[in-house]
């Protein structure tokens, strides 16, 4: 892995991924909305930024050229199919064989084997309704985006984040294939470690065609399953 592209590089997750990718020695290019370029000032001279909406297929095609890996923040903002447009732009334009890593939340399900508590179902339903009623976000478009990714024959991984908190890194999160696995019960990950897992996934071929649901390695539920913690590098 030498050159990577971060689609949605100016957001919180995008900036953490940039830090980790630079620390790994990768050459970093990224795409973000023109009005957000200033958020990346601290990386000036160390990254290349393509200012555009992340569903702009022409700009995404330029940005991902020559990249062995693409990290994509799937954000369901507005009602213009932003998340699915972003996913399509990456899937159709990435280099053949490139590792493609996408971010989303636990609410996304790949094979319908996730088990959600009543509380989680209520919260997801409530948030989906509020997002729809205020026309702020279209959660169903994030579902369309990930369905498109799951059906793709590219080397994809969809990383499903738990609830997030800020704070120092605890190291690589623990993951499970299905929500409802007891190791995930704490439902909390440091945002910087979500980003660390996204960057780690670029070079972990065991994660190809997986949709890992992650949780912080120092969370109570992870600590209660030391075998799961031991299975991921610190
Ligand atoms: N927040 C959580 O608790 C949580 C939990 C689990 C998983 N996730 C996942 O984590 C990823 C990052 O989410 P985040 O909540 O942590 O936020 P974030 O990292 O700040 O990312 C939000 C992204 O959405 C873009 N954005 C914001 N407003 C927009 C608009 N009106 N139109 C178009 N793009 C817009 C941002 O770009 P600009 O910099 O241009 O604004 C940024 O790229 C997402 O894939 C999300 O599904 C989040």
What is the pLDDT at residue 58? 98
Least Cα distance to 127 among 110, 111, 113, 107 occurs for: 107
- Cβ-proximal residues to 120 (8 Å cutoff; 6+ apart), any chain: 106, 179
**Span from the CA of 65 to the centroid of ligand 1 (angstroms):** 24
Residue whose pair of structure tokens reads 């169903």 in the numeric block: 140
What is the pLDDT at residue 232? 86
**Span from the CA of 11 to the centroid of ligand 1 (angstroms):** 6
Rounded to an integer, what distance in angstroms lies between the CA atom of residue 70 and that of residue 67? 7
DSSP β-ladder status, 213-215 and 174-176:
antiparallel
Least Cα distance to 198 among 59, 107, 73, 88 occurs for: 73
Percent of residues, the chain, with pLDDT higher than 70: 100
Q: Are 72 and 49 in contact (CB under 8 A)?
A: no
CATH of residue 66's domain is: 3.40.50.720
If you average pLDDT over residues 70-89, what whole number do you get? 96
Range of the domain at 167: 3-230
What is the pLDDT at residue 128? 95
Predicted structure pTM score: 0.97
The single-letter DSSP state of residue 95 is: P
**Span from the CA of 14 to the centroid of ligand 1 (angstroms):** 9
If you average pLDDT over residues 38-55, what whole number do you get? 98
Q: Give the atom of ligand 1 at the shortest distance from the alpha carbon of 10.
A: 39
- Annotate 71-102 with b (16+ C-beta within 10 A) or e (fewer): bbbbbbbeeebbbbbbbbbbbebbbeebbbbb
Residues near ligand 1 (Cβ within 6 A): 8, 10-14, 32-33, 36, 39, 73-75, 77-78, 82, 103-105, 161, 163-164
Q: Give the atom of ligand 1 at the shortest distance from the alpha carbon of 32.
A: 40
The number of domains in the chain is: 1
Cβ atoms within 10 A of the Cβ of 4, count?
A: 25
**Residue identifier of the C-alpha nearest atom 21 of ligand 1:** 11
Cβ atoms within 10 A of the Cβ of 227, count?
A: 7
Residue 119 in this model has a pLDDT that exceeds 90? yes
Q: Give the atom of ligand 1 at the shortest distance from the alpha carbon of 9.
A: 43
If you average pLDDT over residues 103-122, what whole number do you get? 96
**Span from the CA of 225 to the centroid of ligand 1 (angstroms):** 30
The 10s digit of each residue's pLDDT in 141-177 is: 999 999 999 999 999 999 999 999 999 999 999 999 9
């Amino acid at each position: 892995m030498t050159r990577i592209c971060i689609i949605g590089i100016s957001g919180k997750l995008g900036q953490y991924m940039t830090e980790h990718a630079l620390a790994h020695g990768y050459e970093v290019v990224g795409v973000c909305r023109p009005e957000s370029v200033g958020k990346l000032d601290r990386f000036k001279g160390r990254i290349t930024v393509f200012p555009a909406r992340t569903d702009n297929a022409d700009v995404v095609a330029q940005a991902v050229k020559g990249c062995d890996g693409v990290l994509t923040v799937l954000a369901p903002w507005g009602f213009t199919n932003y998340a699915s447009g972003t996913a399509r732009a990456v899937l159709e334009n990435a280099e053949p064989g490139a590792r493609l890593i996408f971010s989303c939340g636990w609410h996304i399900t790949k094979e319908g084997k996730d088990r959600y508590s009543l509380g989680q179902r209520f919260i997801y339903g409530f948030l989906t309704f509020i997002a729809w009623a205020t026309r702020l976000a279209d959660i169903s478009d994030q579902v369309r985006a990930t369905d498109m990714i799951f059906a793709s024959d590219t080397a994809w991984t969809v990383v499903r984040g738990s609830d997030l908190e800020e704070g120092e890194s605890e190291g690589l999160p623990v993951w499970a294939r299905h929500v409802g696995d007891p190791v995930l019960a704490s439902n909390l990950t440091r945002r910087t470690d979500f980003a660390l897992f996204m960057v780690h996934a670029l070079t972990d071929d065991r994660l190809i065609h997986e949709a890992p649901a992650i949780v912080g390695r120092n969370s109570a539920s992870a600590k209660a399953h030391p075998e799961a913690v031991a299975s991921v590098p610190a």
